[in-house]
Structure 1
Amino acid sequence: MNLNEPRELAPLLEAFLLASGKPQTLERLYELFEEGERPEPPVV
């Protein structure tokens, strides 16, 4: 899975946001991924 590809990343972020039930900050979204696997900022 290429997390820098928006089409592959979008379903993961969507699932997290729906499961959380409330808005999340970009910082929180980045914390979902291991440091070496985090997508580049413009992608999120």
Structure 2
Amino acid sequence: MSNSSTEIDRIIDTLDFNYCIKVRLILIIYFYRCDRTLLIVKMGD
């Protein structure tokens, strides 16, 4: 019983890790694109 529970914990850990990485990537890409558009707008003026 304890063996299966540790495996579940391991799966949850990997899922959390992957989720964190995805969220960070999305945020970085989102803010990077916002900065790019702001720079383009400033240069346009």
- Which TM-score applies when normalising by structure 1? 0.35
More helix by share: 2
- Which TM-score applies when normalising by structure 2? 0.34
* Greater gyration radius: 2
